[in-house]
Amino acid sequence: MQNSPEQAPGDCLFCKREIIGQSFFSSAKFSAIYNIAPVLPGHSLIIPNEHYESLLGLSDPDLGDMMIFARKVTLVLKTVFRCEAFDWSIQDGIAAGQTVPHVHMHIVPRKPLDMPEGNEWYRKITSNEQQMADSQHRERLNKKEYDAITAMLCEASLSHNA
């Protein structure tokens, strides 16, 4: 299967340079960025560097590479946030809760009793998606906090070659 990136809408949040510039880990095809409004500490996003709206648009090798890349990012998060459990989630399509039309996977490190109800994370991810589309009304880390976490993750990534 030979797929090409799709034409990105000019305002795609994840195609904007400043977003890619914030990645703490990247390969030729994928980047990991720290979520500016994490639902739990360590909440990160994996995105293809090229614009694909749906996971269905990725070629077989790219889909495999995305999962392998996500596993490397998870190992970095495991080291930095000292956790053993992770939620991996992809909202593919508007009805599934996708708000930014550029493929992205949420990786959320989990610890025992980190949320009053264990399954609450899904509602939080959905509301986080809404916040991504509505950047005016996001609760977010301040730039100093964000840059400090990104720098820490960057350093931890050095031992995991992309």
Residues contributing to the site for Zn ion (CB under 5 A)? 8, 12, 14-15, 51, 102
Cα–Cα dist 34/84, whole Å: 19
* DSSP state, residue 129: H
Nearest residue (CB) to Zn ion, 8 versus 141: 8
Nearest residue (CB) to Zn ion, 30 versus 86: 30
User: CA angle, 10 as apex, 39 and 144 as ends, to 5°?
Assistant: 40
Cα–Cα dist 18/59, whole Å: 26
For residue 8, the minimal CB distance to Zn ion (Å) is: 4
Cα–Cα dist 144/158, whole Å: 22
Q: Hey, which residues does 46 pair with through a beta bridge?
A: 32, 105
Q: Which of 43, 51, 102, 104 is catalytic?
A: 104
For residue 13, the minimal CB distance to Zn ion (Å) is: 7
Nearest residue (CB) to Zn ion, 8 versus 75: 8
Q: Is 51 a catalytic residue?
A: no
Name the residue among 33, 92, 29 with its Cα closest to residue 63: 29
For residue 12, the minimal CB distance to Zn ion (Å) is: 3
Which positions are annotated as active-site residues? 104
